[in-house]
């Protein structure tokens, strides 16, 4: 009886040691040969098997969840759409500012045009007034010239009468000369008695000769005056005609200026209407610009919130992934098919961590990317020795796609480290394409193991 108690005590101590090891993470099965009562290790091993079976199911459910949580394509699309819309809003904001400034310039220009138009109208009115005054002066000058012309015509008529008088004087002088000649003849006949009469006759003859000579001079002068008067009359008439034509042109110009003033008044009224509309449009544009500024500020806030949401989702996915990874590697007994599924999701998460690195959600080190043989799949691939597996096309394709995925991930990291976001994003797209090829090849490799 005492021996049985000792055996039971030893079995209990050994079981407690195994349970202590399990609490420390060592879930090794018990060796039944070490126990006196085989039921104890057998039941313990059954509990472990049930635990592992439950954990296997839980790990694979976590793995399936991570295939959705770890896929950040929706976050990527959200950020790209946000970036595109933010860029568009920024362009609209800049364009609206330019539009507002343009309208302000238009309003200023319209105001200047309006002021200039009023100045033109004032200058035009002054011109019309000056031209009207000029017309009055020209009209007065025309009247004065007409009077001068009439006076000169009257003077011409008087020169005609002077000529008539001169003709009469000439005739008298001729008759006086003839009379003096007759008197001289008669005085000669009378002899001494006619000497005194001869003296008178000689004087009359000299007077007649002088008169004839003076008459010739007067005729010459009168002819010169008449000729000059005719030229002057012609010049005055020509000047009068020119003044008349100029006066008509000025009258026509005044009429045209009046028509132009009416049109300018109409234009000014239109300009005032346009200026009013432009002022109204300027106010509306300023409100529009303010609204765009508000929207832009809202998008800035939205961008920050989206980045925060993306970062938060990433942190959640990382925590879930750590639980999945720890349970898969320490608290479960997975089949090769299950491990290949784990490796597939590992590299889905790996691919999106590359994107999260360039999105700013995470800061990866190049050493986390540039050692494909050091990752868990790489270690598994290196550990395979069965030639039926190692020499298969499925295995080789999986290994090649795995290498390509890590290579493009490194390319994206280096480009992002240099600040070339566009090149980093392009390399990520190549990495994502490599992952899709890897996903296809690892599914084919799973098919090899399932057979």
Which pLDDT tens digit goes with each residue over 255-280? 776 777 677 777 777 767 776 776 77
What's the chain's average pLDDT? 74
Q: Select from 345, 445, 356 the least CA-distant residue to 62.
A: 345
Same domain, 170 and 217: yes
- Predicted confidence at residue 210, as pLDDT, reads 67
Residue with the larger pLDDT of the pair 415 and 205: 415
Q: Please say if the pLDDT value at position 364 is more than 80.
A: yes
Same domain, 274 and 339: no
Between CA 38 and CA 48, with CA 43 as vertex, the angle to 5 degrees is: 130
Quick: pLDDT tens for 352-362. Answer: 889 888 888 88
Same domain, 286 and 354: no
Same domain, 16 and 131: no
How many domains in the chain? 3
Distance CA 272, CA 113 (A): 10
Tokens 């050692």 belong to residue = 371
Same domain, 241 and 100: yes
Q: Please say if the pLDDT value at position 72 is more than 60.
A: no
CA torsion 388-443-332-380 (nearest 10°) is: 50
Residue 336 phi/psi, 5-degree rounding, is -60, -40
Same domain, 146 and 260: yes
- Predicted confidence at residue 416, as pLDDT, reads 95
What's the whole-model pTM score? 0.50
Helix (H, G, I), strand (E, B) or coil at 114: helix
Distance CA 68, CA 352 (A): 12
pLDDT band for position 298 (cuts 50, 70, 90): low
- Predicted confidence at residue 227, as pLDDT, reads 72
- Average pLDDT value for residue range 234-254: 69
Q: Please say if the pLDDT value at position 327 is more than 80.
A: no
Q: Please say if the pLDDT value at position 90 is more than 70.
A: no
**Would you report the helix, strand and coil content of the chain in percent, each value rounded to 5?**
90, 0, 10
Using a pLDDT cut of 90, give the percent of the chain over it: 18
Neighbours of 238 (CB within 10 A): 10
In a domain, 49, yes or no: no
Specify whether the backbone of 322 is left (phi greater than 0), alpha (psi in -120 to 50) or beta. Answer: alpha
Same domain, 284 and 370: no
Distance CA 183, CA 122 (A): 88
In a domain, 328, yes or no: no
In a domain, 272, yes or no: yes
CA torsion 407-411-416-417 (nearest 10°) is: 90
pLDDT band for position 121 (cuts 50, 70, 90): low
Task: Give the residue numbers spanning the domain of 1.
Answer: 1-22+33-44
Range 397-401, long-range pairs (CB < 8 A, 24+ positions): 397/441, 397/444, 398/438, 398/441, 398/442, 398/444, 398/445, 400/441, 401/434, 401/437, 401/438, 401/441, 401/442
In a domain, 60, yes or no: no
Instruction: Select from 246, 269, 295 the last residue of a domain.
Output: 295
Quick: pLDDT tens for 135-165. Answer: 677 666 667 767 776 666 776 666 667 767 7
Distance CA 414, CA 416 (A): 5
Q: Select from 76, 32, 103, 21 the least CA-distant residue to 356.
A: 76
Q: Please say if the pLDDT value at position 419 is more than 90.
A: yes
- Predicted confidence at residue 274, as pLDDT, reads 74
In a domain, 392, yes or no: yes
**Among the listed ranges 50-64, 84-98, 187-201, 254-268, which one has the minimum average pLDDT value?**
187-201
Quick: pLDDT tens for 376-395. Answer: 999 999 999 989 899 999 99
What's the CATH number where 231 sits? 1.10.287.950
Report DSSP letters for 219-265, one per residue.
Answer: HHHHHHHHHHHHHHHHHHHHHHHHHHHHHHHHHHHHHHHHHHHHHHH
Q: Please say if the pLDDT value at position 13 is more than 70.
A: yes
What lies within 8 Å, CB to CB, of 239 at 6+ separation is 145
Q: Is residue 179 within 8 Å of 204, Cβ to Cβ? A: yes
Same domain, 133 and 265: yes
In a domain, 439, yes or no: yes
How far is CA 188 from each of CA 176, 181, 193, 200, rounded to the nearest angstrom? 18, 11, 9, 13
The tokens describing 42, both together, are 């057998």
**Which of 115-119, 188-192, 300-304 has the largest mean confidence?**
115-119
Q: Please say if the pLDDT value at position 310 is more than 70.
A: no
Same domain, 17 and 160: no
- Predicted confidence at residue 141, as pLDDT, reads 67
Same domain, 272 and 338: no
Residue 361 phi/psi, 5-degree rounding, is -80, -20
pLDDT band for position 220 (cuts 50, 70, 90): confident
What's the CATH number where 369 sits? 1.20.120.30
pLDDT band for position 334 (cuts 50, 70, 90): confident
Same domain, 346 and 241: no
In a domain, 301, yes or no: no
- Predicted confidence at residue 119, as pLDDT, reads 72
In a domain, 325, yes or no: no
- Predicted confidence at residue 311, as pLDDT, reads 60
Distance CA 406, CA 413 (A): 11
Using a pLDDT cut of 70, give the percent of the chain over it: 47
Same domain, 94 and 222: yes
Instruction: Select from 295, 312, 345 the last residue of a domain.
Output: 295
**Which of 65-69, 142-146, 174-178, 426-430 has the largest mean confidence?**
426-430
Q: Is residue 376 within 8 Å of 346, Cβ to Cβ? A: yes
- Average pLDDT value for residue range 312-319: 62
């Amino acid at each position: 009886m005492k021996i049985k108690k000792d055996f039971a005590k030893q079995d209990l101590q050994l079981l407690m040691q195994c349970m202590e090891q399990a609490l420390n993470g060592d879930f090794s099965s018990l060796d039944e040969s070490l126990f006196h009562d085989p039921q104890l290790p057998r039941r313990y091993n059954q509990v472990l098997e049930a635990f592992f079976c439950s954990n296997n199911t839980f790990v694979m459910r976590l793995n399936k969840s991570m295939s959705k949580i770890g896929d950040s394509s929706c976050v990527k699309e959200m950020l790209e759409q946000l970036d595109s819309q933010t860029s568009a809003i920024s362009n609209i904001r800049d364009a609206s500012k330019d539009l507002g400034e343009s309208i302000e310039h238009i309003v200023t220009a319209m105001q200047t045009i309006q002021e200039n138009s009023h100045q033109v109208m004032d200058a035009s009115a002054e011109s019309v007034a000056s031209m009207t005054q000029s017309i009055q002066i020209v009209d007065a000058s025309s009247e004065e010239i007409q009077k001068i012309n009439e006076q000169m015509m009257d003077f011409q008529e008087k020169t005609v009468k002077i000529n008539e008088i001169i003709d009469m004087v000439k005739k008298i002088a001729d008759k006086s000369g003839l009379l003096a000649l007759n008197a001289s003849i008669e005085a000669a006949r009378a002899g001494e008695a006619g000497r005194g009469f001869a003296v008178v006759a000689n004087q009359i003859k000299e007077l007649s000769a002088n008169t004839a000579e003076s008459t010739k001079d007067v005729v010459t002068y009168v002819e010169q005056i008449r000729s000059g008067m005719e030229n002057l009359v012609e010049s005055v008439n020509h000047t009068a005609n020119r003044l008349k034509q100029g006066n008509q042109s000025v009258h026509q110009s005044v009429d045209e200026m009046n028509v132009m003033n009416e049109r300018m008044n109409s234009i000014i009224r239109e300009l005032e209407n346009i200026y009013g509309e432009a002022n109204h449009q300027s106010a509306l544009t300023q409100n529009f610009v303010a609204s765009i500024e508000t929207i832009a500020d809202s998008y800035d806030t939205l961008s920050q919130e989206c980045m925060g949401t993306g970062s938060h989702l990433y942190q959640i996915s990382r925590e879930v992934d750590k639980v999945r990874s720890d349970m898969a590697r320490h608290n479960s007994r997975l089949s090769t098919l299950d491990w290949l599924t784990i490796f597939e999701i590992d590299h889905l998460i790996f691919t999106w961590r590359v994107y999260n690195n360039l999105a700013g959600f995470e800061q990866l080190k190049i050493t986390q990317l540039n050692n494909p043989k050091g990752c868990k799949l790489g270690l598994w691939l290196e550990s395979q020795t069965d030639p039926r597996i190692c020499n298969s096309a499925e295995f080789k394709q999986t290994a090649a796609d795995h290498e390509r995925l890590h290579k493009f991930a490194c390319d994206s990291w280096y480009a992002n480290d240099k600040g070339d976001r566009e090149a980093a994003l392009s390399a990520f797209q190549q990495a994502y394409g490599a992952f899709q090829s890897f996903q296809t090849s690892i599914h084919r490799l799973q098919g090899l193991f399932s057979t």
